[in-house]
A = this chain, B = another copy of it.
Amino acid sequence: MAGMTALGFDIASANAAPPELGAGGKGKKVIVLGAGVAGMTSAYELSKAGYEVTVIEARAFAGGRCQTARKGFKLTELGGETQECDFDDGLYINHGPWRIPYHHRSTLHYTKLFNVPLEMFVNDNDASYVAMTKGTGPLAGKAIRKGQIAADARGSAAEILAKQVKQGALDQQMTADDREKFLAYLTHEGYLTADLAYKGTDGRGYDVNPGPGMVPGPGKESTPYPLTDVLHSNAWRTLTSVAGYEQQRTMFQPVGGMDQVAKGFERHVGQLIRYSTLVKKYRQNEKGVEVTVSGPDGKVETLSADYCICTIPLSVLRQMDMGVSPKFKAAIGAVSYALVGKIGLQMKTRFWEEKHFIYGGHVYTDNPEINTITVPSTGYQSQKGVLLGYYNFGASAAKVSALSPKARQELAAQGGQVAFPEYAQNVETSFSAAWHRIEHNLGGWAEWSEEGRRDAYPILCEPDGRLYLAGEHLSYLTGWQAGGIESAWQQIAKLHKRAQAA
């Protein structure tokens, strides 16, 4: 039980609320590198505890990857042309983080504290389409509603299993009482008839919707797809008994764009941030740290402090002049970063709502350059909308990101035709981001190998001299804002304990 408590309740709550640092930071200086979510978390909590905090930020704005592209937002990828977002007023795309699972209590701690209003992000919508072109049979290449596939696959499986039970296949392994309840469960799950057959359910939709009067009156239920067609379609690849941990409902998005989280932090720590300032060199000794920076005017100066918290992505940090131990330096180089591309497409009409009745959620394709198309979880029933036209990874992201913004738009516009006939003709403009080509990030998030987690990760989780690393890369919630926040919480707690003892 002592072990349980140590591993369980204590730590679980440490993920939910910042460490209580008290007020003992007075007279001590901390330099924070990076004004992303991890950096601003560190700055907020440390300055609250009395530390004198300076945040160095390469960009002219805070938030790190927590960005939202709206009219006027500019991005120049490495080796690429400059895009200036020209969406209509009020429209945006979260090209970085875009959703907050209900169990990311650390992120939700700050949205609550900073009064950032939230709305539901639709992460699972049975009415949305699965459009698999690489299957075979009559359903291949068709846009099928996910709920129809779910009803038919699970209904058919329930029928097969129920009949097995009835025929005695489980007599050896289950009691009669359990078998009876198991049959009741299967019948309920699969909407089986009294003779244990799956003949469809109203939940898979109607050919004629029920309505008023005598016609359509009760309407006409649809006919299930045969199991063999479902199996050959590949559409079942979207079905799981319950969504994976990080993908579970409920999920949120901040009203108006994910950068509202960054702006929430900025309202509290903005005065501590030196924007458009680059880190040139980091040195430390037993007495303190020195960070040489060049400001927006090119002026180089060296700042000193007692400690440093560095939230710069390892993909970038590995190229910097860091006076750290060889072991630490090697560990910094031991992780790869995700190749990730996203595109926001401004659409003239919300045809996915008006013609297809899909309000939020993902359209699944098996084209790796598109992967998923996600229609917006905001602005329902308004005139226009920005949807996520692709979310690609790895080799596909590398390939697509090598295209010009215009060619990416064309690729996304064509890719969406697999689901919606109205798609390409509705595209007005786009904004795309390939995180592996973005300066100061060079990747979407840390992707640890098993060896990296074993060898390099533990080294980076401990301070090197007076340098503490923090960020999503120093967590098991890589790619999530919660990883950055909780990593910062853990590191500042360690720093504080040491500073108090000093």
Interchain nearest-CB distance for A312 vs B (Å)? 17
- Give a binary string over A159-196; 1 marks a CB under 8 Å from any B CB, 0 the rest: 01100100001100011001001100110111100000
- Tell me which residues across on chain B come within 8 A of A212, comparing CB atoms: 461, 474-477, 483, 486-487, 489-491
Q: Are A211 and B250 in contact (CB under 8 A)?
A: no
Q: Are B214 and A461 in contact (CB under 8 A)?
A: yes
Cα–Cα distance between A297 and B154 once the two chains are bound (Å) = 62
Q: Are A108 and B381 in contact (CB under 8 A)?
A: yes
- Tell me which residues across on chain B come within 8 A of A218, comparing CB atoms: 476
Interchain nearest-CB distance for A121 vs B (Å)? 9
- Give a binary string over A411-433; 1 marks a CB under 8 Å from any B CB, 0 the rest: 00000000000000000000000
Cα–Cα distance between A411 and B277 once the two chains are bound (Å) = 62
Q: Are B249 and A124 in contact (CB under 8 A)?
A: yes
Cα–Cα distance between A250 and B188 once the two chains are bound (Å) = 22
Interchain nearest-CB distance for A183 vs B (Å)? 10
Q: Among A122, A157, A248, find the residue whose CB has the most chain B CB atoms closer than 10 A.
A: A157
- Tell me which residues across on chain B come within 8 A of A151, comparing CB atoms: 241-242
Stretch at the interface among A201-209, A257-265, A324-332, A398-406: A201-209
A303 interface hit (Cβ, 8 Å):
no
A126 interface hit (Cβ, 8 Å):
yes
- Tell me which residues across on chain B come within 8 A of A201, comparing CB atoms: 240-242, 244
Known: A211-B475, A252-B359, A487-B212. A164 touches B155 (CB 8 A): no
Report how many copies the assembly holds: 2
- Tell me which residues across on chain B come within 8 A of A153, comparing CB atoms: 185, 189, 241
Closest residue of chain B to A181 (Cβ to Cβ) is B231
A7 interface hit (Cβ, 8 Å):
yes
Q: Are B102 and A357 in contact (CB under 8 A)?
A: yes
Q: Are A122 and B125 in contact (CB under 8 A)?
A: no
Enumerate 19 A-B pairs (CB-CB under 8 Å) in ascending A order. A7-B208, A14-B216, A102-B127, A103-B209, A127-B249, A155-B241, A164-B164, A178-B228, A182-B227, A189-B239, A201-B240, A201-B244, A203-B244, A211-B475, A211-B476, A211-B486, A212-B474, A214-B458, A214-B461
10 residue pairs, one from A and one from B, having the closest CB atoms: A154-B241, A210-B476, A212-B487, A202-B245, A181-B231, A120-B120, A212-B475, A151-B242, A203-B242, A212-B486
